[in-house]
Structure 1
Amino acid sequence: RQDTVLWTKTVIWLTALGCLMVIAGIWVTVDVWRKTHRSRHPKFSPYRKRWYHWHYVSGIFFGIFVLTFTFSGMMSLADIPEWIHKPALKKGSATRTLHARAPQPEDYPLDYRRVIAAYPQALQIEWRNFREHPYYIVKDRKNEYYIDAADSLPRPLQLSEEEILKGVESIYTSQRDSSQHIPGIRISRLEHFETYYRDMSNMYRGRPQLPVWKITVDDPDRSVYYIHPETGIIRHVDTSSRWKYWSYTALHRMRLPGLNSNATLRKTVLWVLLLGGTAVCITGVALSVNYIRRKCCKKQR
C-alpha cells in the first residue's frame, strides 16, 4: 500500500477482471434462464445441487449489483478518461486560484495571540484565506472554529456574496486569453441539499452546512461552485466530477436521489445489497473449490 502507483494499478486490474467475470456469470444466468423457461415444466432454478442452486438464485437477484459494485470499486481509483471528457480547467486550479493572493501571517489584522486568548482550549491554529480575505481555523478536541482575521477583534467568519462572486470571477479572468470572454456567472443562496451538494457532516464537524452560496458558470465544463460562507470550504463540480459521482459515489455508496435524504433507508438498502452480493461471492467460491477438488481427485486416481 506504500507504493501508491502499484496499489492503484493492482486494484484497477483486479476489479476490471472481476467485472469481466461477473459479466460472464450474468451471461450464463440469462442463457440458463432462457433455456429453462422454454421447457414444458419450467422451474425457477434448474439445479438440484445446493451450491449451484443458491449461486443461480442469488445471481439472479444480486448479479447486477455485484457488477456495479465491482465497477464502481474500480472507479474509486481510476480517473475519468479524457476521451470521455477533457476538463477545460486543470484539476485543482480553481481551488488554488481562490486560495491565491494570501497575505503573510504577520500581515493578518487579527493577531493569533488574541485568538489563543479567546480560545484557550485550542490545540491547533491554521492560517487560511479566501483570496485576500484572511481567516483562522482553530481546532480543539471536538470542534473547529472559523475566525475572521480581517478585523482586530475575533469574530466568526462570514464571507459576503460580493467577495465570493469576485473570487469565482477571478478564476476565469486569470486563465482567459485576450480573445476570450468571461463566461456568464450566476450566484444564488442554496437553502437545501441537492445531488452534488449533500450532507457531509464529517467534513464540517457538526457545523450547519446550509445555507451555502451556489455559483453557476456557463463554461464548457458547466461548472458549479458551492462555497460555504462560514467556513470558506469550496466544492467545485464539473462534467468530470459528475461522471465520477455516477460511476463511483452513486453506485458504490448508494448516494442516489431519494436515498440521500434518508440515511436509515440508504443504509438498509446498502446492507441488503451487500449481504446479497456476499452470498453470490460465497457460493461462487464454494463452486470453484468443489471444482478444483474434483479435478485433483481425478488426477490422483
Structure 2
Amino acid sequence: MLTRFKRYLYLSHRWLGIVLCLFMAMWFVSGVVMMYIGYPKLTPQERLSGLPGLAEERCRISLAQALAATDQPKSPDSVRLTSVAGVPRYVFAYGKKQIAVDAETGNRIDQVTPAQALASAGNFLATASGHYLDSINEDAWTHSKALDEHRPLHRVQMDDEQATLLYISNTTGEVVRDANQNERIWNWLGAWIHWLYPFRGGALDNYAADIIIYTALAGSILSLFGIAVGLLRWRFKGRYKHGTKTPYRNGWMRWHHLLGLGFGVIAFTWILSGLFSMNPWKIFDSTAAKPSMQAYMGGEISPQYFPLSVPEALARFQETGFQVREIEWRLLNGHGYYIGFDALGRSRIQTAQANGLVFEKFGWPELQNAAERLMDQSKITQQSVLNEYDFYYYSRAAHTMTGHIEKRLPILRLEFADSDSTWLHLDPYTGNFSKLDAGRRVSRWLFAFLHSWDWLPLLNNRPIWDILLIVFSTGGLLISASGIIIGWQRVKRKLSTP
C-alpha cells in the first residue's frame, strides 16, 4: 500500500511538473520585475499634480444646479469638483456609475470626443504635445476593473521624454491612467504575465480568473508533492551506495532534488499565497450586511448641507495659503464639509457653513460617533490612535499593487464586537475610513505577508528585503528551470520510444 502511494506521488509530481514548471519559472521571473516596476497606474498624487488650480470665477454652477443636470432620482454617493482640459467639472458617483457636469456651463457630459480627449491630455501633461491614437475598450495596460466605469477609453500618445501613453475617460473626460515607455516595456516581463493577462480580453476572458485560480492551485499541489518526494528520497540516516544523501549522483535530477529541499517551502508558500490573492471561492468575504454609508455620514449629500458656495469656499482656502486643485463634498455626523486637495495630495477641511472655517483634521470623537452609527452601535472593544505603522496598517511604494492607497498617520483604529470582528481605520485628514474584518486580516497573513514579505522590519531595512526576495526567487527559478529540462528530457525519451 505504501509503495503504491509513493508511486502515485512520484508520478503526480512528475507529470504536474512537466505541465506547470514553465508557469512557475515565469512567475518567479516576473515577480522580481514587479519588485521594482509595477503595473501602470495613475496614483492620486500624480493625478492631482497634473491638474490646474480651481479658478473660483469659472465655477458658476452650484451643487443644486449640477445635481439637477444629472437627472438622477437619488442622491450621489460622492461628489468631486475637478478640472478637465482646464475647465472645472463636477463628477458624481452613483454606485459604479459616474456622471460629469461642466461647472462653468451646467452641461452634462454624455460622451467625450477625440478632440476633447486630446485637450484633456494636453492640459494634464502641459510640457509636451500629443497625438490622438484611438478609442479602445481594453488593452494590455487597462485590464483593471477600476477602469470599467470609464470605458471606452481614449488613448493619447504624448511626445515627452518618457513617451507617456495617456488614457482618458469617455465618461468624465479625466485622465485615468498613464503608462510610460519604461513601464510598458518591463511589464511584458512583469505584471502582464505574472497575472496571466494574456488570457484577458479574448475568447477566454470570462474564464481568466478561474485559469489563475486553478493554475495556482495545481502549482501549490505540485510544490507540496515535490517537498514530500524530496524528503522521502533524502537519506536522513546513512547514505546511498555512492556515498551521498540524495539518490541522484549527478545531472539535473540531483540539482532539482537539492534545490527543492532548499527552496521548496518558499516556492510552495509563494504559489499558495498567489492563489489566496484571488480570494478563491470568496473564502475571505464577509457574510455580514454591507454597512450603510448614509448612516456614517448622518444623511445624504444634498445642497442643504452646503450653503457656502464653491467660489466662496475656494476663496477661503486661498486666504489660508492653500492652493486647491480638487474639492470633495463630505458629510460627517450630519454636517457638510469641503475637503480640498493641493498638487502634492495634501488636504484641508472647510466647514460648508457661512463661516467657512478651514482646519487640518477632524477630531477623534467626531470620527468615533460616525463609526458607531456605521456599525449600528456594535460595541467598541478597543480603540487606539496609531502614530506609527504596524502589521495591519502600513504603506507601500507607489509602484506596488496597493501603493496607490494613501496611508496617513496618525489614524484612529476602532475594534468592534460584531460578528466579523471588524476593525475600522479612520483618517482624520479626510474623514475616510477603511474596513478590515477577520477575513481580511487572515488574508493579510496568507497573501500580503507570505507573497510580498511586507513585514515592517524588512521593509524598513532595505536592501535586506531585496536580497532575500531575489535569492529566494532565484532558488524558485532554478527549481523550475531544472524541472523544465528534466521534463523535456523525459518527454523526448517517451516520444522516441517505439
Q: TM-score, normalised by structure 1?
A: 0.80
1:101 aligns with 2:303: no
Which of 59, 69, 72 is the matching residue for 2:260? 59
Q: In structure 2, give the amino acid aligned to 1:159.
A: F
Q: SS in structure 1 opposite 2:435?
A: strand
User: How many Å separate the matches in 2 of 1:204 and 1:17?
Assistant: 29
Bigger drift between 238-247 and 3-12 goes to 3-12
- Identity across matched positions, percent: 23
Residue 253 in structure 1 maps to residue 452 in structure 2: yes
| Structure 1 residue aligned with 2:232 | 31
Query: For 1:55 and 1:96, how far apart are their aligned partners in 2?
Result: 58
Corresponding residue number in structure 2 for 1:147: 349
Secondary structure of 1:226's counterpart equals: strand
Q: Which amino acid aligns with 1:164?
A: L
Secondary structure, aligned partner of 1:74: helix
Matched, 1:282 2:481: yes
CA distance in 1, matches of 2:441, 2:405: 26
| Cα offset, 1:25, TM superposition | 1.1
Q: How much does 1:74 deviate?
A: 0.8
Alignment of 1:182-193 (within 5 A): 182-193=378-389
| Shift of residue 145, structure 1, vs aligned partner | 2.9
Q: What do the CA deviations read for 1:70-120 (whole angstroms, capped 9, x no partner)?
A: 1111111124766xx884633x53667535623225742443334555366
Structure 1 residues 56, 205: closer, same or farther in 2, change over 3 A?
closer
Separation of aligned partners in 1, 2:295 and 2:468? 40
Partner of 2:214: 13
Asked if the contact 1:148–1:158 (Cα under 8 Å) also holds between the matched residues in 2, the reply is: no
Counterpart in the other structure of 1:167: 370
Deviations 1:156-205 (A, max 9, x none): 4411111111112112337xxxxxxx424543322222111112464797
Structure 2 counterpart SS, 1:275: helix
CA–CA separation in structure 2 for the residues paired with 1:284 and 1:19:
15
Secondary structure in 1 aligned to 2:431?
A: coil
Q: 1:188-203 residue pairs with structure 2 within 5 A?
A: 188-200=384-396, 202=398
One-letter amino acid of the structure 1 residue matched with residue 300 of structure 2: A
Match for residue 466 of structure 2 among 267, 284, 292 = 267
Report the Cα offset of residue 17 of structure 1.
0.9
What is the TM-score when the length of structure 2 is the normalising length? 0.51
Q: Distance in 2 between matches of 1:132 and 1:297?
A: 78
The answer for the alignment partner of 2:419 in structure 1 is 220
- Say if 2:338 and 2:352, in contact at 8 Å, map to a contact too: no
Q: Unaligned regions of 5+ residues in structure 1, if any?
A: 175-181
Paired residue secondary structure (2:453): coil
Report the number of matched residues.
Answer: 288
Question: d(CA) in 2 for partners of 1:201 and 1:130?
Answer: 30
Secondary structure in structure 2 of the residue aligned to 1:47: coil
Task: Give distance in 2, aligned partners of 1:96 and 1:13.
Answer: 39
Report the residue type matching 1:271 in the other structure: I
Q: Residues 217-254 of structure 1, C-alpha deviation per residue, up to 9 Å, x if partnerless?
A: 22332222111101323222221111111111111111
Letter paired with 2:427: H
User: 2 CA distance for matches of 1:63 and 1:204?
Assistant: 29
Once the 2 structures are TM-superposed, how far is the Cα of residue 39 of structure 1 from its aligned partner?
3.8
Cα RMSD after superposing both structures: 3.3
The residue type equivalent to 1:253 in the other structure is S
User: What is the alpha-carbon distance in structure 2 between the residues aligned to residue 296 and residue 277 of structure 1?
Assistant: 28
Q: Give, in whole Å, the separation in 2 of the partners of 1:88 and 1:205.
A: 28
Change (3 A) 1:37 1:237: farther
2: CA distance between counterparts of 1:201 and 1:134?
33
Please name the residue that 1:179 is paired with.
none
Cα distance, 1:131 vs structure 2:
4.7
Matched letter for residue 279 of structure 2: A
Q: Distance in 1 between matches of 2:487 and 2:303?
A: 63
Q: Which amino acid is the alignment partner of residue 256 of structure 1?
A: W
Which ranges in structure 2 are unaligned for 5 or more consecutive residues? 1-199
Match of 2:329 in 1: 127
Q: Residue 368 of structure 2 aligns to which amino acid in structure 1?
A: L
Letter in 1 for 2:265: I
Query: Retained in 1: the 8 A contact 2:298–2:370?
Result: no
* CA-CA distance at 1:5 after TM superposition: 5.0
Quote the offset at 1:153 in angstroms.
Answer: 3.3
